[in-house]
Chains A and B, each alone.
Chain A
Amino acid sequence: MSNSLKGSLPKNSSTVIATARLIAAKDLRVELRSRVLLNQVLPFALIVMVMFAFALDSDAVLERVAPGLVWLATLFSVLVMVSRSFAVETADGALDQLRSAGVPAMGIFIGKMLALMVQLMVLVALLVGAAVVLYRASFSWEGGVLLVTTAIAATCGLAAVGTLYGGLAAGAKGRETLLPLLLLPVVAPVLIGATRATESAFGTNGIAISEGWPWLGLLAVFAVLFSVAGAVAFGPLLDD
């Protein structure tokens, strides 16, 4: 069994890229037609932001912890989005079909990761907007540049880890409850790095913008490490 699949491993990078593009486009098309992100995940993230305000019950505290809450709400939403991303693949045994059709696993990984990343960017943009409206966060033009860079690096890392662990639990019974346990400890560095960078972008507690850029190093290392690990490990993980 595994020998016959060896032949389906990517021989050249162009098939991987073509596959990745197709899978990403497919996932985004599924989203455009089903509107699960728009109608379910984004409202969920917003209500989480409102609930944080109830729990903390103070404008001063909210303003101080706004960056952390943005990324915490992002992490909660990632769990839902990863589940959704792989529910689409396993519902009709689509993932098995892709594998038996000899589609390179690396391409599937990169495609799903890219689609997840695009959706996460939309989510983060909305949550930053919510922080501005609900938590009185504000940022300058320079802070905005830092914020966008942070969002790109952080969502890249989150999408890579999410896709990897989503694939790991895909098709198994009880994965909905297992995914948070697996995923949250791994993404702790993203929460730390993105929160600090966002703090300086918002100027929370008078932190300068220049202090935020070093945290991007952490986010970048995380994103690169888990993208590479995911691209390599996804094949053996799906290989049956």
Chain B
Amino acid sequence: MNTSSSLDASPRDRVTGTPFTRGLGILVLVGMVLLIVLGLFVSPADVNQGESVRIMYAHVPGAWLAYLAFIVTAVSSAAYLWNRTRSLTWDRIAGASAEVGVLFMGISLITGSLWGRITWGTYWTWDARLTTTAFLFVTYIGYLAVRGLGGTHQQRARRSAVLALLAVLEIPLVHFSVELWNTLHQEASVAGRGTNVDMDGLMLFTLFLGVVVFTLMYVWLVLHRQRSLALDDMLDDSGLDNALTARRAEAERMTH
């Protein structure tokens, strides 16, 4: 595929890495190794939960990251709609962040239900936080599907920005109504959430390290993904340009 002719970007713009992201990537790798060693081997087992507490070091940072990602999506969607320039960069950041968010929400749902199976004896409870998380997950899968609907880049950006802001409206409502629904049903309350208070120092440090490493990883992923989305858009545009040039050349051949 010959796209270089109409891409008015230097080759340097066509890679997603920069010295900064490379440094960040190395930092994430080192941190992840440290997190695995601390989380799986060095930190002690919990008095009540036993070895299953180690799931927490992936589950809590994963959930935190997903929420952070969705907040970033909402904020950059608002920035897209707010700025008169209608900069697609905001749209791509929103999209990249949502993708990473969905991935990590999936991870945190799976690890959470595995932990629940061991600790509570059930994969799932109708706790408001859990249910809202599941709704968030589905909502952002829908968001990503809307991004893939087609149309122009601006159309995609506008649709998905409105949708991301609607999700901000939807999620508190869902959470609130599930809470109301729960109080009526008198479901078993979630035990073990409060045990974090008297946590061992090393466990707390490992959890903290997990949050930091996952956050850095999020930044790394979003930076790369955002740039690769920009390249996708460029490829789309150049495809049209190339087709136009080809047709023009054809027309010129016909007339001569």
Do A and B originate from a single complex? yes
Residues in chain B near residue A185, CB distance under 8 A: 135, 138-139, 142, 170, 174
Residues in chain A near residue B177, CB distance under 8 A: 188-189, 192-193, 218
Contact A237-B184, Cβ < 8 Å, known A164-B166, A218-B177: no
Residues in chain A near residue B139, CB distance under 8 A: 185-186
Cα distance, A235 to B90, chains bound together (Å): 20
Query: Does the CB pair A181–B150 fall under 8 Å?
Result: no
Query: Does the CB pair A225–B142 fall under 8 Å?
Result: no
Chain A: which residue is nearest B155 at the CB level? A240
Query: Hey, what's the 0/1 contact readout for B144-176 against A, CB within 8 Å counting as 1?
Result: 011001110001001100110110011001101
Cα distance, A233 to B150, chains bound together (Å): 20
Chain B: which residue is nearest A174 at the CB level? B149
CB distance from B236 to the nearest CB of A (A): 16
Query: Does the CB pair B151–A172 fall under 8 Å?
Result: yes
| A7 on interface, CB distance cutoff 8 Å | no
| B33 on interface, CB distance cutoff 8 Å | no
Chain A: which residue is nearest B177 at the CB level? A189
Query: Hey, what's the 0/1 contact readout for A200-226 against B, CB within 8 Å counting as 1?
Result: 000000000000000100100110011
Residues in chain A near residue B81, CB distance under 8 A: 236
Residues in chain B near residue A222, CB distance under 8 A: 173
| A182 on interface, CB distance cutoff 8 Å | yes
CB distance from A224 to the nearest CB of B (A): 11
Cα distance, A53 to B151, chains bound together (Å): 43
CB distance from A49 to the nearest CB of B (A): 23
Query: Does the CB pair B180–A192 fall under 8 Å?
Result: yes
| B40 on interface, CB distance cutoff 8 Å | no
| A196 on interface, CB distance cutoff 8 Å | yes
Query: Does the CB pair A237–B169 fall under 8 Å?
Result: no
| A122 on interface, CB distance cutoff 8 Å | no
Question: Which of these, B158, B166, B184, contacts A239 with CB under 8 Å?
Answer: B158
Cα distance, A196 to B177, chains bound together (Å): 11
Contact A229-B173, Cβ < 8 Å, known A172-B149, A185-B138: no
| A169 on interface, CB distance cutoff 8 Å | yes
Residues in chain B near residue A215, CB distance under 8 A: 180
Most chain B Cβ neighbours within 10 Å, of A174, A189, A222: A189
**A contacts with B, residue count (CB < 8 A):** 29
Within 8 A of B (CB), among A167-205: 168-169, 172-175, 178, 181-182, 185-186, 188-189, 192-193, 196
Chain B: which residue is nearest A180 at the CB level? B142
Chain B: which residue is nearest A184 at the CB level? B138
Cα distance, A192 to B132, chains bound together (Å): 13
Cα distance, A215 to B145, chains bound together (Å): 33
Query: Does the CB pair A181–B145 fall under 8 Å?
Result: yes
Residues in chain B near residue A193, CB distance under 8 A: 177
Residues in chain B near residue A229, CB distance under 8 A: 166, 169
Residues in chain A near residue B170, CB distance under 8 A: 185-186
Residues in chain A near residue B141, CB distance under 8 A: 181
| B178 on interface, CB distance cutoff 8 Å | yes
Query: Does the CB pair B149–A236 fall under 8 Å?
Result: no
Query: Does the CB pair A196–B166 fall under 8 Å?
Result: no
Query: Does the CB pair A233–B146 fall under 8 Å?
Result: no
Question: Which of these, A178, A188, A236, contacts B146 with CB under 8 Å?
Answer: A178
Cα distance, A224 to B166, chains bound together (Å): 14
Contact A173-B150, Cβ < 8 Å, known A178-B142, A181-B142: yes
Query: Does the CB pair B146–A182 fall under 8 Å?
Result: yes
Cα distance, A239 to B161, chains bound together (Å): 13
Cα distance, A175 to B150, chains bound together (Å): 11
Residues in chain B near residue A174, CB distance under 8 A: 149
Question: Which of these, A178, A181, A189, A236, contacts B162 with CB under 8 Å?
Answer: A236
Chain B: which residue is nearest A175 at the CB level? B149
Chain B residues close to A by CB (< 8 Å): 81, 135, 138-139, 141-142, 145-146, 149-151, 155, 158-159, 162-163, 165-166, 169-170, 173-174, 176-178, 180-181, 184
Given A182-B142, A233-B166, 4 further pairs, Cβ under 8 A: A172-B150, A225-B169, A236-B158, A237-B159
Q: Name 22 interchain pairs, CB-CB below 8 A, sorted by A.
A: A168-B146, A172-B150, A172-B151, A178-B145, A181-B145, A182-B163, A185-B135, A185-B139, A185-B174, A186-B170, A188-B135, A189-B177, A192-B180, A196-B184, A215-B180, A218-B176, A225-B169, A226-B169, A233-B162, A233-B166, A237-B158, A239-B158
